[in-house]
Chain A
Amino acid sequence: MSIAVQPVSASPANVERIVTPAGIEVWRVHSDVVPLVAMSFIFEGGAAQDRLDRPGVAQMVAQLLDEGAGPYDSDAFQERLAERAIELSFSVGQDSLGGGLRVLTRHLDEAAALTRLALTEPRFDGEAIERVRAQTIAGIRHQMKDPAVLASRRFYADGFPGHVYSAPNGGTVESVGAIGREDLLAMRDRLIARSGLRVAIVGALGRNEVVRLVDDVFGDLPETGGATPAPRVALAGIGTRSVVDIDVPQSVIRFGMNGIGWRDPDFTAAFVLNHILGGGVFTSRLFQEVREKRGLAYSVGTSLASFRGAAMTMGFTATKNERVAEALDVISSEIGRLKAEGPSPDELAKAKAYLTGSYALGFDTSTKIAQQLAQISFEGLGVEYIARRNALVAAVEADDVARAAERMLGDGRMLIVVAGRPEGL
């Protein structure tokens, strides 16, 4: 098999950075192939702005923004979206409230007006609050005995005790039941402001049209909100193992180690290391050892989680109860081996070839481009990052990976959570 030498390819998108008269930074890509506009935007401060004893407020705000705004109650607002097939959605992450818009170019004016209303004049009508509350609680109940959800919840509880990251973003049945309208209004004021806003737009729009659109939608927002940075915290519980008992034939496993955040100088090396260990392709070490060679699991892998207040490496798999101990042994020994020996030169070269070669695949639809740009902007990486990114990956050397491995994998111990009825632990 021959391995092509990957050229460090050109930027996958021609991005222009604009600061509007209202002072809002927007990254735009011009694309006129398909008659649609995609916009992605992110406000600083998400579920981490919840009170530890009342999680779920930020998410409920996100769910209520399109449930009535300005002169339109929820049903009328949704009807205006549906009549023109405007797709407007809001979501909450640990550190962000995000929004996405997809619209046929000919309906952009109406879409902009509705997005502006959702952000500046959400109604939070009593009927909508009670309906969304009931839907949220039904959703929590629906997943309450799902082993994957149980494992993840326990993982965050063990990993970040006393920190807001320990609480589920969507809240609990009790906390969601207790959320009042004043909680929602206060959270809206904290989160939705111009200062922490990132916007990206892709479509057949001129520069002036983009500027007008952004200032129309976001220009009337208050300058500052009240989001406070999440306190810095390191992953706790490394070296501990807990079991959540649930009567299912297959156990879900979560394992965690230290991580390296986006803004850290070692991030790119950590990213390459994670790809080799458990990145989302069929060639990773865990995929090969856990799945291909031993048939222990359908799904296995690791990912880097980078929050404003924490960074970690989080792994996942699921295997029948009888083989949990074996799966954990294999994972543990692969991590130990990677830490001790590092990747082979060929493995490192192939990992870099994949990561550089596949970067453009994330930029092949308008929606994906808008999301990527908003995320890069949110991480504070700068508009030039997109052009620079493949060179950063290509420059990662064995000693960079070793340094990242030292910081991430440490002595090989993990925070382990198992949900199921594991045998032989």
Chain B
Amino acid sequence: MSRSPVRAAPAIVTKAREGVDGDGPAVDSFMLDNGLEVVVAPDRRVPVATHMVWYRNGSADDPVGQSGIAHFLEHLMFKGTEKHPAGEFSKVVSSLGGQENAFTSYDFTAYFQRVAREHLETMMGFEADRMANLALADEVVAPERDVVLEERRMRVETDPGAQLSEAMASALFVHHPYGVPIIGWMHEIEGLNREHALEYYKRFYTPENAILVVAGDVEVDAVRRLAEKTYGRIAPRGAKPQRLRPREPEPRAMRRVTVADSRVEQPLMQRLYLAPSTLTAQGRDAAALEVLGEAIGGGPTAYLYRKLVLEQGVAVNAGAWYMASAVDDTRFAIYAVPAAGTGLEQLEEALDRAVAAIPAEALDDKAVERAKTRLVAETTYAADSQTALARIYGAGLAIGQTIEAVRRWPAEIEAVTREDLASVAQRFLTPRRSVTGQLRKAD
């Protein structure tokens, strides 16, 4: 969920990984006296800096009955402070030739600017100011709530596919707030107000809860000096705010949901499995799930595409993905689009057979090597972008990983064995952990 007038992607959940063969670009980190964590990732190719502040709270920390408040506050953070009236920060960023935006996900909220390096201090001054001094007038809150309602109409209310995704997440997480949409439910967004926003702001927008990430053409010492001068002046609150997250119970029941709408001209099916995240996984399970997702669902050479599209011809497309980066238990997804003349029931039977056969058929040495090669290469490709680097570290730290854990990711991918893959497939891709969703035309 972003403030962007242009970007269409929904939640930004960056995969936590970095480095080439476990040895990525040099990264420094330190902590200010008030508890603010700082990460510096130099990239000197162009005289540009990416400045990001991450808060360790996302939609899954929304109070009950106030779904969407994290995302709504993200919008309201552009509405000015006691010192700088609404819109001034954006005007300055723009007049300096900078770009800015913000985004909210399940576990974090982040704000960023990309500017010529000499403007870094100006950005830090404004960003530090709105960490502590947000001032909200009712007359800016009401129209911004309308903006968010229009955002939800655009993303969800006009799109049956997005409605299916929401319904599936709600069914997968029967107790945990990952089942609530990041943007919030329509009827609860309508009730959000200035007081809700300020209460939430006071609870979470503190130096102890924030991570500053600066990537680009910068020196560590200079960043430290500027950070102390700006963020360092914010008074600490004494302790980090606590995330109060209920734990998802061990699932017992296979679930299925259907969205039937007259506007659906192309049916499809999806499945979600409740799976451990990089933080909740034991041993190598998270890395194994990542490799498994790539091996069975990462493109036209992956198992599901070969099986369902090329071999059996029951689908025109099929794939899988795994959201490793999450504080709590997370989702592993597979999807398939039926070929003309194939019903969703027939497709689901074929998919079930294919999933059951993963240990025997999907994990030959070549397939596993190919998956690992692609995942590790992605880390080199990411190193080409200072923004991607900043996002990788920011997201990793925001969910509670260490820098070392983020940097270790490629080595963990390499260490995964065929047996690990068969094991996670057998333990986690099971019917009782699953929700099956159908998108079909209304009768």
Enumerate chain A interface residues (CB-CB to B < 8 A): 1, 3-4, 6, 9, 12, 31, 33-36, 38, 74-75, 78-79, 81-85, 87, 102, 104, 131, 134-135, 137-139, 141-142, 144-147, 246-250, 252, 280-283, 287-288, 291-301, 318-320, 350, 353-361, 363-367
Does B103 make an interface contact (CB < 8 A)? no
A137 to B337, CA, bound (A): 12
Does B301 make an interface contact (CB < 8 A)? yes
A144-B265, A358-B98 are known contacts. Are A82 and B370 too (CB-CB below 8 A)? yes
Chain B nearest Cβ from A114, distance in angstroms:
13
Chain A nearest Cβ from B304, distance in angstroms:
14
| Contact status A366-B384, CB under 8 Å | yes
Return the contact of B316 from the options A75, A138, A358 (Cβ within 8 A).
A138
| Contact status A358-B377, CB under 8 Å | no
Interface core residue of B46, B380, B384 (most chain A CB under 10 Å) = B384
A135-B317, A282-B5, A364-B45 are known contacts. Are A79 and B370 too (CB-CB below 8 A)? yes
Chain B nearest Cβ from A365, distance in angstroms:
4
Of all A-B residue pairs in the complex, the 3 with the closest CB atoms, nearest first, are A357-B97, A295-B146, A295-B143
Return the contact of A318 from the options B94, B154, B264 (Cβ within 8 A).
B154
What are the residues of chain B within 8 A of A363 when measuring CB–CB?
46
| Contact status A361-B94, CB under 8 Å | no
A82 to B5, CA, bound (A): 35
A363 to B266, CA, bound (A): 39
A295 to B149, CA, bound (A): 9
| Contact status B95-A75, CB under 8 Å | no
What are the residues of chain A within 8 A of B151 when measuring CB–CB?
298
Interface residues of B in 285-321 (CB under 8 A from A): 299-301, 306, 309-310, 316-317
Closest chain B residue, CB of each to CB of A297: B150
| Contact status A82-B150, CB under 8 Å | no
Interface core residue of B45, B151, B159 (most chain A CB under 10 Å) = B45
Interface core residue of A74, A78, A146, A282 (most chain B CB under 10 Å) = A282
What are the residues of chain B within 8 A of A83 when measuring CB–CB?
366, 369-370, 373
Return the contact of B153 from the options A301, A320, A360 (Cβ within 8 A).
A320
A283-B90, A292-B87, A301-B5 are known contacts. Are A3 and B47 too (CB-CB below 8 A)? no
Return the contact of A281 from the options B99, B114, B161, B339 (Cβ within 8 A).
B99
A299-B154, A358-B98 are known contacts. Are A282 and B384 too (CB-CB below 8 A)? no
Interface core residue of B114, B116, B387 (most chain A CB under 10 Å) = B116
Does B386 make an interface contact (CB < 8 A)? yes
A-B contact pairs, 6 of them (CB 8 A): A35-B380, A74-B300, A85-B373, A280-B6, A354-B94, A361-B97
Does B263 make an interface contact (CB < 8 A)? yes
Return the contact of A75 from the options B153, B301, B339, B369 (Cβ within 8 A).
B301
Closest chain A residue, CB of each to CB of B309: A131
Q: How large is the interface on B (under 10, 10 to 19, 20 to 34, 35 or more residues)?
A: 35 or more
A249 to B46, CA, bound (A): 45
Residues 144-156 of chain B, each 1 if its beta carbon lies under 8 Å from chain A, else 0: 1111111101100
Closest chain A residue, CB of each to CB of B150: A298
A81 to B145, CA, bound (A): 47
Chain A nearest Cβ from B159, distance in angstroms:
7
Interface residues of B in 110-143 (CB under 8 A from A): 114, 116, 119, 142-143
What are the residues of chain A within 8 A of B370 when measuring CB–CB?
79, 82-83
| Contact status B45-A1, CB under 8 Å | no
Residues 18-56 of chain B, each 1 if its beta carbon lies under 8 Å from chain A, else 0: 001000000000000000000000011111100000000
Chain B nearest Cβ from A420, distance in angstroms:
8
| Contact status A357-B301, CB under 8 Å | no
| Contact status A299-B157, CB under 8 Å | no
Closest chain A residue, CB of each to CB of B144: A295
Interface residues of B in 207-261 (CB under 8 A from A): none
A134-B339, A294-B143, A363-B46 are known contacts. Are A141 and B266 too (CB-CB below 8 A)? yes
Closest chain A residue, CB of each to CB of B439: A142
Chain B nearest Cβ from A266, distance in angstroms:
23
A320 to B145, CA, bound (A): 13
A319 to B147, CA, bound (A): 9
A408 to B48, CA, bound (A): 34
| Contact status B377-A82, CB under 8 Å | no
What are the residues of chain B within 8 A of A146 when measuring CB–CB?
158-159
Interface core residue of A6, A281, A350 (most chain B CB under 10 Å) = A281
| Contact status B5-A280, CB under 8 Å | yes
| Contact status A318-B150, CB under 8 Å | yes
Closest chain A residue, CB of each to CB of B90: A282
Does B187 make an interface contact (CB < 8 A)? no
| Contact status A365-B94, CB under 8 Å | no
Does B203 make an interface contact (CB < 8 A)? no
Closest chain B residue, CB of each to CB of A67: B300
| Contact status A281-B316, CB under 8 Å | no
Residues 370-400 of chain B, each 1 if its beta carbon lies under 8 Å from chain A, else 0: 1001101110110111110000000000000
A139 to B119, CA, bound (A): 44
Does B78 make an interface contact (CB < 8 A)? yes
Q: A291-B147, A355-B97 are in contact. List 20 more A-B contacts (CB 8 A).
A: A4-B96, A33-B45, A79-B370, A135-B316, A141-B266, A145-B264, A145-B265, A248-B158, A249-B157, A250-B157, A252-B158, A297-B150, A299-B6, A301-B5, A318-B154, A320-B150, A361-B98, A361-B99, A364-B386, A365-B385
A35-B380, A364-B386 are known contacts. Are A131 and B5 too (CB-CB below 8 A)? no
Chain B nearest Cβ from A286, distance in angstroms:
9
Chain B nearest Cβ from A231, distance in angstroms:
31
A287 to B385, CA, bound (A): 29
| Contact status A360-B45, CB under 8 Å | no
Does B91 make an interface contact (CB < 8 A)? yes
| Contact status B91-A350, CB under 8 Å | yes
Return the contact of B97 from the options A1, A34, A104, A356 (Cβ within 8 A).
A356
Closest chain A residue, CB of each to CB of B3: A282
| Contact status A4-B143, CB under 8 Å | no
A291-B5, A356-B97 are known contacts. Are A138 and B385 too (CB-CB below 8 A)? no
A6-B97, A320-B150 are known contacts. Are A147 and B158 too (CB-CB below 8 A)? yes
Does B92 make an interface contact (CB < 8 A)? yes
| Contact status A249-B384, CB under 8 Å | no
What are the residues of chain B within 8 A of A320 when measuring CB–CB?
149-150, 153
Chain B nearest Cβ from A45, distance in angstroms:
27
Residues 314-340 of chain B, each 1 if its beta carbon lies under 8 Å from chain A, else 0: 001100000000000000000001011
Chain A nearest Cβ from B228, distance in angstroms:
23
Return the contact of A104 from the options B146, B153, B301, B377 (Cβ within 8 A).
B377
Chain A nearest Cβ from B334, distance in angstroms:
17
A131-B309, A358-B99 are known contacts. Are A82 and B299 too (CB-CB below 8 A)? yes
A247 to B374, CA, bound (A): 43
Closest chain B residue, CB of each to CB of A83: B370
Chain A nearest Cβ from B29, distance in angstroms:
21
Closest chain B residue, CB of each to CB of A102: B381
Chain B nearest Cβ from A200, distance in angstroms:
15
